[in-house]
Amino acid sequence: MKMNKILLIDDEEDILKVLSMSLRIDGYKVITATNGNKGIELFEQTSPQIILTDLKMPGMDGLQVLKKIKELSSDVEVIIITGHGDIDSAVEALHYGASDFIHKPVKNQALSIALKRAKEKLQIRRQLKEYTEDLEAMVKIATKEIKRKSTFQANLIRSSTDGIVATDENWKIIIFNPEAEKIFGYRRFEVVQKIDARDLLPPYINNFFNQKLNTSRSNEDQPWIEVLVNSKGGEKIPVRFSGTFLWEKNKMMGAVAFFQDLREIKRLEKELVDSERLAAIGQTVAGMAHCIKNILHGFEGGSYLMDVGLEKDDKIKLTKGWQIIQRNIQRTSDLVLDLLSYSKEREPDFENCFPNEIAADVCDLITQQAENFEIEIVRDFSEKIQAVVMDPRSIHRCLLNLVSNAIDACIFDENVPKKHQVHVATFLENDGYICFKVEDNGAGMSQEVKDKIFSSFFSTKGAKGTGLGLLVTSKLVEEHQGNIDVMSKEGDGTVFTICLPYKKAS
């Protein structure tokens, strides 16, 4: 497929000349036509894969050109050139299969983007078509010649850098290439004609195939998408997935799924994140100095009150000074723990635990502080959650950070008459995740604040906060291969939701 050959159709010779010159400079071989009929004739003679055609032309207009070209070859990408007043016609052209449309006067950037999209579509269509055609040919083995081709294609599948899993009409696995063995951890002889593919594939992929089976009878492919698949050993493997059905006379003859192993890419991404984290330590030192300075001011204030109390035998000042020193000792401890958690690389320490008990312990620890400010702690723990294998210390640290922040949000809320509450809930997700939700009806956040909450040393608590709590929480969730979501509206409160994968306790 030669994607550098372009057929350009426009009845305005000046535009034709300028565009063709620009395209040739960019390395394209350009064939030009001044009307639709001539363009169709040149298309049949030269077979270009990309066509640029003006929409408004005398005689055969751009829409008619598009329809005729799609009749001759559905694999060709057609880009419509239109004036600003022809948007309805341009949309209609997209309905008939146009790849894109660009406005006059044609700008180089818009043209470059449209051509890039067209070439990407051609490339993806070619790759998926080749895979599908190869596999369909294997199903139709009947003659010696087809058998020879089938053997050749089988060699291609075995050497493919994509994991390929194909099934028959009963969902029994019939193709499981070496790359699929690496991804899923099974040997070919363990799965071929022995395992139902739906037992091997994750819920998202099964849902995709079920939906396609019920709604379509075409060979339309699933666009590449990132998902997690479970290996034989229970490891969650990140992959890119695409798949399709194989049809014969409106009957499903099988399905095929393609997988690209992303573990190495994810490893490199993680190394990049780690290097960025180490680079950020230099910036962290400056922020830490500011935090330590604020803490030292607290120690100085407490120390001064205690000196005055000792000098004048004033127990009230002694007590107040000691309370200030205690608070700053806790702030120092929190700062050190947060810095250690953020700067140190760690693997989750998985063990049997009860998530509801962890959440309950966090609520117990924070209840007295909440009651001091007349804030109600509401617990809503799912009884479906039993003993699981997770990292209890990470969960405890994350929840303690979130619940503490929720209480602070209620304390800082200027809506004094409001009865403040912090809801702590646990629940199960269908795709193998346990979720923890912390919701408050406190001060809430503006969008500007929300965009910064996971930044180093950003805090809305002034001198009372280190700005590392949510940063550490996010890091711990990422290490646990989970995700964290936040919703907030200024004045209405905030909801943090953490979802973490788990295994059933043995």
Element (H, E) at 81: strand 77-82
Task: Output the pLDDT for position 347.
Answer: 78
Which position has the token pair 């239109």? 82
315 CB-contact burial (10 Å; exposed 0-12 / middle 13-18 / buried 19+): exposed
Query: Residues near 267 by Cβ (< 8 Å), separated by ≥ 6?
Result: none
d(CA 328, CA 297): 9
Give the number of other CB atoms < 10 A from CB of residue 127. 14
Which residues on neighbouring strands pair with residue 82, listed in sequence order? 103
Can you tell me the mean pLDDT for 91-96?
A: 83
pLDDT, tens digit, for every residue of 144-177? Answer: 555 666 666 666 777 777 888 888 888 898 888 8
Number of residues written out for the chain: 506
pLDDT, tens digit, for every residue of 424-458? Answer: 999 998 778 999 999 999 888 888 877 777 665 44
Query: Residues near 243 by Cβ (< 8 Å), separated by ≥ 6?
Result: 205, 208, 209, 221, 222, 255, 256, 257, 258
Is the pTM here over 0.75, yes or no? no
Could you give the 3-state DSSP secondary structure of residue 85? Answer: helix
- Give whole-number Cα distances, 503 to 204, 386, 399, in Å: 19, 11, 20
Q: What is the CATH number of domain 5-131?
A: 3.40.50.2300
* pLDDT tops 60 at residue 287: no
Task: Output the pLDDT for position 220.
Answer: 59
Which position has the token pair 């799924």? 257
**3.30.565.10, 2.40.128.50, 2.40.160.10, 3.90.700.10: CATH of 348-506:** 3.30.565.10
pLDDT, tens digit, for every residue of 297-331? Answer: 557 767 877 888 888 888 887 888 787 777 667 65
Element (H, E) at 175: strand 173-176
Give the number of other CB atoms < 10 A from CB of residue 265. 12
Mean pLDDT check: name the lowest of 4-8, 111-115, 270-274, 334-338. Answer: 334-338
What type of residue is 173? I
d(CA 79, CA 55): 10
CATH class of 160-261: alpha beta
pLDDT, tens digit, for every residue of 276-285? Answer: 666 655 555 5
Answer yes or no: are the C-beta atoms of 399 and 362 closer than 8 Å. yes
d(CA 174, CA 247): 16
Task: Output the pLDDT for position 389.
Answer: 93
